[in-house]
């Protein structure tokens, strides 16, 4: 992805969030100089990768396969004294796929906070990480039911789904863009994502202009 594209995506995302009544913390809009001036006090933010996360999954087709995320809270898996939970806010654009994946450790609630409908396709996984043909258990707002493999759950604003460890899922905005919340156990995007297809988690960035705001994958490079 080009840095200019990332800068535009972040500005558009911030406007969309605000228009839907969601306000980000101040560090969302820090400049590089702000980060450097606050380097010592913001070690929690940088160490657990809180902040902007724009990804095209290494495919170079953000509008077709990508996601805007902002991690608001997170803990450290190896530190028993840290917070045991994480929270993200995301934007899933209309027909923009977040590709099929599951988590070995994380349990998460995905919540349609506002906007259009959020579509989520579900599978169990086989021992060799293929898509299983077994029925999936859907846990939506505390209501449990079984459906056939590949079932697509459609969440209206206010509705949510709980995704257990090992349940394959992909999602996209259906009928428009969606403001999506995520509440989960500790999040580790470096090691805990198992993708069905070969994709990357973070983008390769072409620095065609200066970053307006840093991504979580920028911290080591710029601060």
Q: Domains of the chain: which residue ranges?
A: 3-222
Residue 175 has pLDDT above 90, yes or no: yes
Give the pLDDT mean for 136-165.
Answer: 98
Cα gap 223→212, rounded to integer Å:
14
Domain 3-222 annotated CATH 3.40.50.300: no
Share of the chain above pLDDT 90, in %: 97
What pLDDT digit, counting tens, does each position of 188-203 carry? Answer: 999 999 999 999 999 9
Judge whether 83 and 48 are in contact, CB under 8 Å: no
Judge whether 91 and 178 are in contact, CB under 8 Å: yes
Cα gap 92→109, rounded to integer Å:
15
Residue 181 has a pLDDT of 98
Per-residue pLDDT band for 78 (boundaries 50, 70, 90) equals confident
How many other C-beta atoms can be found within 10 angstroms of the C-beta atom of residue 40? 6
Helices assigned H by DSSP within 38-84: 43-47
């Amino acid at each position: 992805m080009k840095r200019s594209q990332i800068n535009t995506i972040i500005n558009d995302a911030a406007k969309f969030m605000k228009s839907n009544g969601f306000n980000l913390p101040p560090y969302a809009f820090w400049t590089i100089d702000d980060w450097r001036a606050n380097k010592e006090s913001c070690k929690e933010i940088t160490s657990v990768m809180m902040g902007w996360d724009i990804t095209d999954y290494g495919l170079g087709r953000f509008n077709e396969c990508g996601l805007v995320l902002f991690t608001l809270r997170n803990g450290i898996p190896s530190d028993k004294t840290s917070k045991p939970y994480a929270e993200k806010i995301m934007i899933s654009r209309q027909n923009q796929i977040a590709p099929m994946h599951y988590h070995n450790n994380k349990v998460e609630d995905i919540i349609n906070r506002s906007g259009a409908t959020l579509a989520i396709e579900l599978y169990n996984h086989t021992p060799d990480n293929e898509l299983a043909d077994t029925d999936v258990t859907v846990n939506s707002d505390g209501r449990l039911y079984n459906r056939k493999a590949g079932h697509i759950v459609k969440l209206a604003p206010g509705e949510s789904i709980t995704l257990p460890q090992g349940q394959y899922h992909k999602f996209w905005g259906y009928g428009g863009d969606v403001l999506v919340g995520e509440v989960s156990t500790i999040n580790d995007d470096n090691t805990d994502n198992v993708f069905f297809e070969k994709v990357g988690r973070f983008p390769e960035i072409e620095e065609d202009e200066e970053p307006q705001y840093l991504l979580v994958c920028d911290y080591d490079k710029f601060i």
